[in-house]
Structure 1
Amino acid sequence: MTVYELTAPLSGPAATSVPLLTVVDQRLKTTSLCLALAHGSRDDPEGRGGTAHLLEHLVMTCPLGDGGPELSFSEYVERRGGQANAQTGLETMLYYAQVHPDDADDVAAALLRAIFDPVLDRETLDRERAVVLQELAAAAADPSDVVQDAVLAQLFPGHPLGRPVGGEPEQLLAVTVEELTAVHRERFVKAPGALVVVGPRVPAALARIATPTAGQPVARAASVPPEPAGAGDPLPDPATAQFAWLCFGARSPQAGAPERAAFGVLTHLLGSSSSSLLYRSLRSEHGLSYSFHTWDRGYREAGAWRLLVGAEASAAPRISSLVAELLTTVAEQGPTADDFGAAVRQAEMTLILESESPLEYAKLIAERTCSAGHAWTVEDEIAELHRVTVDDVRRAAAHVRRELLLTVRSVAA
């Protein structure tokens, strides 16, 4: 991977520069681009939750303008047979496209224009706000979505990380074009970021303004110390609930902390793979759940380790006990050599499989670089995984067990 600085990618009031990271593989038949910015729902203005997500929609759907075609970036890419999308997280936004290499030059220029110099207008805002409100309504009707927002609110009460990414409908209805423009100008374009290209060559539009660089290409955004976590929820009452989503959560180390790799291994030890300790206990031995998933994310101040389980409400007490018992066993005895080796290999293969899809690889590099504050490589993260020991995982399990809280959302009987 080669690192450059885009010295002057744009002109006008939103002019900025971003680091460019390139992975050139002449065997590829597509070019993937991803621009990540360290801006997310945690950066929404007070009383305007969901602004970042709404801005994401407008960036992708407003006309490109500035002498370009009167198409949105999404339509511009897809009329060429490519694909384009975006996503907003708690503290990172991704904008990405995958196109034919012959189209990469024009698409790269259009991507920069769409993100850094969008034509925000009231008509598009009203249309996309209606779409976002439909998204929120769909999420609110799905307890498995609701519980994931709820556990973050428990882990980070009163903190920007505890805000729902999509925001609140009544706050979204109050957002104006002028407010969005101010957020874009004062926060969005000033956020640290990284642009990644994975393809057979670097688009000429980027190569002309790229200067080779080294060292730390991404600044770190400011952090806010979190207050103590909440207390969690009581178990569901089988008399009033038929099905429940249980989300177990605990804070984990912040992004960039060396001990984060051990928490990643722990997610695979207690993940949805048929080889995991949780699968063998929860599904194979006791038949208590068909649907469960474990994951861990690192943020600026702290991470969030989570386990989501869907089950009949009557099974919730037993599931809660089994999760606590498994964490205690790993914390006190450690995993067996075979289970530990399988979890490390699964964590490694997850990275390798993502890196073999050009678009997913571009997204992975952009997001991790933005979070880490330096050029991220899959080789470095695999090396970190191979440095994890059984004792490291024991300490991670002890930490999660000590801080574990349970958040529940039920489906009425």
Structure 2
Amino acid sequence: MDGAVEFPLDLAELSFRAAGDALVRRSVLPSGVRILSEHVPGSRSLTIGYWVAVGSRDELPGHFGSTHFLEHLLFKGTPTRSALDIAIAFDSVGGEHNAMTAKEYTCYYAKVQDRDLAMAVDVLTDMVTSSLLDPDEFETERGVILEELAMADDDPADVANERFFEAVLGEHPLGRAIGGSPEAIRSASRAAVWEHFQANYRPQDLVITVAGAVDHDVLVAQVTRSLAQAGWDPETLATPVERRTGGAAQITQGEALSIALRPLEQVNMLIGMPGLVATDDRRVTASVLNSIFGGGMSSRLFQEVREKRGLAYSVYSFAPGYSDAGLFGMYAGCTPAKAGQVAELMLSELHRLARHGVTPEEMRRASGQLSGASALALEDSDTRMSRLGRSEITLGEFVDLDESLRRLALVTPDDVQALAADYLTGPISVSAVGALPADAFSGILPSGVRP
């Protein structure tokens, strides 16, 4: 494989060899269903995912919380399987099955032995195409989801994270909580969730990815058969849904300071600003910057905040990217009386990086960390399956380990320094949960900004 491999939506068949002699194949059925596989030599198991490119950001007024509801309800039964039948199908073969709702996609997945692929295809197809959304189960899951949200609300780090996205991204749909608010879940109707299901779970929306011990031709035959049995005629013509395009959105800051006062022993706080979209050419540079700045025990944040000064146990940075927006953030948990000092120290470290750059030794360590972590992650079929899904849904191209390392080697210290300076041109937002002094962040925020 030489360079990235593009995934055109109008190309019916594609096949190539990736790093490690993995065979990647992609088929687009006439109905618009996309099937991707990565055969990994020596594997005896596989991970399979059924993806739809709809997440919490795609919910319309009146449908807030529908994505999270569906993640729960699709496990609750079809005309041919009860919720218990679905659970038994995987438990009886030692498999794992679950789902994840994200801001821009939802995935239902399973990990099984290679001999159990047909079962996994049949069950997941049945769930995604034919869920009953039973009214009684709907009310039961309403209670379950509310308990899940209550559990998250008891975690100050979760609360600070949700408030951080709202503070940085403002009214942009990506700023909304993935799980929905308790108010939205309480007011959600089965009719609204059913409308959301019908509008977004169609053949042209479906992406199926498998990694591990998989034969692509067998996989396509099994998927085609199971879709036909579910009433999704594979020969009905449809074009796959377009990927999200349009570049970076105009982001208007939600608020500079978001505080939740709680009588806790620690303050959980996040500081940051808008970052890069998922398809930005500087995403590799962002990974290097994050590694040097706050991505490990040798990073600047860890060394300055924890090792040298003992101000926090947990401190790190992160840089998520989405189709039209991104963030760069710094997290720390510390004693309330030290919150202002830690916040100023974290931000001053970013300014120092932007002014003075990074050292050759830091670049060497970052390259080693990122290349090693990437290689180790690919030992897991879950990671490979997810890489296929993100490649198809978000990026429109496949980047294997060799290409990732080639791109990593092109990043220069000047690139990292320039990106840090670019981050600092954006408005700074702070979210925090804990027993904070009123002036805790006066040293890093504009005058007049108060809790």
Structure-2-length-normalised TM-score? 0.81
Give the one of 345, 354, 367 matched to 2:390. Answer: 367
1:38 corresponds in structure 2 to 53
SS at match of 1:348: helix
Identity fraction in percent:
24
Rounded Cα–Cα distance in structure 2 between residues aligned with 1:40 and 1:293: 27
Give the one of 77, 84, 97 matched to 2:90. Answer: 77
- Contact 2:166–2:175 (8 Å) recurs in 1: yes
Residue 160 of structure 1 deviates from its aligned partner by 0.5
- Of 202-211 and 146-155, more deviation after overlay is shown by 202-211
Asked whether 1:273 is paired with 2:288, we answer no
- Of 280-289 and 73-82, more deviation after overlay is shown by 73-82
Residue 300 of structure 1 deviates from its aligned partner by 1.4
Q: How does 1:302-321 map to 2 (within 5 A)?
A: 302-321=325-344
Rounded Cα–Cα distance in structure 2 between residues aligned with 1:75 and 1:39: 28
Asked whether 1:402 is paired with 2:402, we answer no
Deviation per CA, 1:76-127, whole angstroms, max 9, x where unpaired?
2223210011111111212211101111112112212211332221122112
Q: How does 1:13-412 map to 2 (within 5 A)?
A: 16-59=31-74, 61-65=75-79, 67=80, 71=84, 73-189=86-202, 192-202=205-215, 206-208=219-221, 219-221=242-244, 225-233=249-257, 242-403=265-426, 405-412=428-435
- Contact 1:244–1:408 (8 Å) recurs in 2: no
Structure 2 CA distance for partners of 1:405 and 1:82, relative to 1, 3 Å: same
- Of 47-56 and 162-171, more deviation after overlay is shown by 47-56
Structure 2 CA distance for partners of 1:331 and 1:311, relative to 1, 3 Å: same
Structure-1-length-normalised TM-score? 0.88
- Contact 1:191–1:221 (8 Å) recurs in 2: no
Rounded Cα–Cα distance in structure 1 between residues aligned with 2:264 and 2:222: 60
- Of 399-408 and 96-105, more deviation after overlay is shown by 399-408
Rounded Cα–Cα distance in structure 1 between residues aligned with 2:139 and 2:47: 31
2:26 corresponds in structure 1 to 4
- Kindly provide the amino acid, as one letter, of the partner of residue 221 in structure 2: R
Rounded Cα–Cα distance in structure 2 between residues aligned with 1:72 and 1:283: 50
Deviation per CA, 1:42-77, whole angstroms, max 9, x where unpaired?
011214322101111111x22243x45774544422
- Contact 2:276–2:321 (8 Å) recurs in 1: yes
Residue 149 of structure 1 deviates from its aligned partner by 0.8
Residue 359 of structure 1 deviates from its aligned partner by 1.8
Rounded Cα–Cα distance in structure 2 between residues aligned with 1:190 and 1:250: 38
Rounded Cα–Cα distance in structure 1 between residues aligned with 2:403 and 2:134: 43
Rounded Cα–Cα distance in structure 2 between residues aligned with 1:85 and 1:175: 23
Rounded Cα–Cα distance in structure 2 between residues aligned with 1:339 and 1:201: 40
SS at match of 2:267: strand
Rounded Cα–Cα distance in structure 2 between residues aligned with 1:183 and 1:217: 18
- Kindly provide the amino acid, as one letter, of the partner of residue 77 in structure 2: P
Structure 2 CA distance for partners of 1:164 and 1:364, relative to 1, 3 Å: same
SS at match of 2:319: strand
Rounded Cα–Cα distance in structure 2 between residues aligned with 1:72 and 1:251: 45
Residue 187 of structure 1 deviates from its aligned partner by 2.4
Residue 186 of structure 1 deviates from its aligned partner by 0.9
- Of 222-231 and 332-341, more deviation after overlay is shown by 222-231
Residue 36 of structure 1 deviates from its aligned partner by 2.6
SS at match of 1:173: helix
- Of 370-379 and 92-101, more deviation after overlay is shown by 370-379
- Kindly provide the amino acid, as one letter, of the partner of residue 154 in structure 1: A
Rounded Cα–Cα distance in structure 2 between residues aligned with 1:149 and 1:340: 32
- Contact 2:32–2:205 (8 Å) recurs in 1: no
- Of 148-157 and 290-299, more deviation after overlay is shown by 290-299
- Contact 1:42–1:160 (8 Å) recurs in 2: yes
Structure 2 CA distance for partners of 1:243 and 1:355, relative to 1, 3 Å: same
2:8 corresponds in structure 1 to none
Unaligned stretches of 5+ in structure 2?
Answer: 1-22, 225-238, 437-451
Deviation per CA, 1:338-376, whole angstroms, max 9, x where unpaired?
111211222222222221111222123313432212334
Q: Tell me the C-alpha RMSD between the 2 structures.
A: 2.7
Rounded Cα–Cα distance in structure 1 between residues aligned with 2:243 and 2:338: 44
- Contact 2:268–2:334 (8 Å) recurs in 1: yes
- Kindly provide the amino acid, as one letter, of the partner of residue 95 in structure 1: Y
- Contact 2:152–2:158 (8 Å) recurs in 1: yes
Rounded Cα–Cα distance in structure 2 between residues aligned with 1:294 and 1:102: 41
Deviation per CA, 1:144-184, whole angstroms, max 9, x where unpaired?
10111111111111110110111111211222222222111
Residue 410 of structure 1 deviates from its aligned partner by 2.7
Rounded Cα–Cα distance in structure 2 between residues aligned with 1:232 and 1:364: 34
Deviation per CA, 1:217-237, whole angstroms, max 9, x where unpaired?
873136693432234217899
Structure 2 CA distance for partners of 1:80 and 1:235, relative to 1, 3 Å: closer
- Contact 1:217–1:373 (8 Å) recurs in 2: no
Matched residues, number? 399
